[in-house]
Structure 1
Amino acid sequence: MSSHPWYILGAGSIGCLWAATLHQATGKSPVMIVRNREHSINENTDKKAVLTLTRLDKTESCHPVSVVTADEITAPIHQLIVCTKASDALTAMNSISPVLAKHCNVLLLQNGMGSQEAVAEAFPAQNIWIWLNH
């Protein structure tokens, strides 16, 4: 297993679900990249947040995450999950392009089609993986 943290671009429902799942599976807190802090998930002063998942049986689990904006990232990103709308994917990827490691593994989880090819073309040095749900 890689020692590099997972980054998640997009803090909507799918991004938060993946963050909680990654924390549960690895025991490590992923890093959520948000567009701006004013409309992001609730966080405290040290750029940390806790996601609470409620299951159908009403049990809850809490999962810590780090929260950053694109301009606050200082270390190279080696593992990234993109959880944006398809129409926002390329713009979102461009916002973090300076910190993407060469050969970064990028998993695109879009709701919508059409952006995957544009992202792959714009980021040829990265390993682009696409989730298709049929």
Structure 2
Amino acid sequence: MGAGAMGCLWAAHLHCGFSGASGPHVSFIDKRAYSNLSMRKELSFSISSPFLAHIPENTQLSFRLEQTPQTIDCLLVCTKSFDALPGLKKLGEAITDKTLLVLFQNGLGSQYDILEAFPDNPIFAAVTTEGANRVSSNQIVHAGSGLTRVGPLNKAAESNDAARALLNYLQPPALDKTLTLQYEKDIWQALWHKLVINCAINPYTALLNCPNGQVRTSRRFIEGWPILKLELSELLNTASYPLSGDEIETLVFDVMQKTSTNISSMLQDIRAGKRTEIDDINGFAARFLAQHTLSSEVNSYLASKVKALPTH
């Protein structure tokens, strides 16, 4: 569910990897399929990946766009954070208590809402560094090979059977090169650490209209960073995944350097005139800190400034 660049990459990987008749059927459930304005029955795009031999250059793919899906065995939720729960609720009886849900959302907040709404389902989170870009309306490029960490968010997902079933769905057999998957029993640490990175980089790219690498030298970041890194350290300490301000700085600056030319998803949304996920990034951080009577000055400021941009 969710036909953005990451959703298309995973759909192509699974479709081409499970090429035999015995493999799972891969289809899309896009939230627009539930609109009276949507009469599409297929989703078509081309994709190129220099990293995956089973996806030749400019592979043309068409997927059924489900209008009223039957029972779903495993659902990769690749929507924006604010679309995830509403999209899942629309699926009704297609989601049984045995349906595996894999959440790819940025930030935190939506995961807690989904856990509350679907308490009996095995729910996993995925944190990925794969690079996928939509270079035109129907053209996807696998721009960077990375690592996807996946792990359980609730008790229902912690069983060996649930983990085995998930890996069977996500790892096509007999491939020399595949999307690298790493199972982690405590995926929450990866989610909290990714949140901190997003809080430090994404809002500044949106406000400064610049790639990741230019944030560090901007006056706006230099002035706000000393207090922001302390707030983020308090955030992680309270969440029981402690990092010092200096450790956070090392982590954030390393990501800035490695992704120096990248345009953050938040800035892409701003440039496309779309709603951002700021409420689940700095907005979530500010609310979490406030709930624990901790200072959230810079996170609150960044959230309000991004929300004041034209798309909001």
Structure 2 matches for 1:1-134, cutoff 5 A?
A: 9-27=1-19, 29-36=25-32, 47-55=41-49, 59-69=57-67, 72-73=68-69, 75-133=70-128, 134=194
Distance 1:85 1:112 in 2: 10
Deviation, 1:65, is 1.5
Residue 64 of structure 1 aligns to a residue in which SS? strand
* Alignment size in residue pairs: 118
TM-score, normalised via structure 2 length: 0.34
Q: Pick the structure with greater CA Rg.
A: 2
Which structure's relative contact order is higher, taking Cα pairs within 8 Å and 6+ residues apart?
A: 1
CA RMSD, aligned part only? 2.5
Contact 1:29/1:66 (<8 A) preserved: no
Deviation, 1:32, is 0.4
Deviation, 1:108, is 0.4
Gaps of 5+ in 1: 1-8
Give the % identical residues.
Answer: 29
Deviation, 1:56, is 5.4
Regions of 4+ moved over 4 Å: 37-40
Larger proportion of helix: 2
Deviation, 1:102, is 1.9
Larger proportion of strand: 1
CA offsets per residue over residues 19-42 of structure 1, 9 Å max, x none?
Answer: 1111121126511012225679xx
Gaps of 5+ in 2: 129-193, 195-312
CA offsets per residue over residues 40-84 of structure 1, 9 Å max, x none?
Answer: 9xx6xxx34443102359922233321123xx22x2111100001
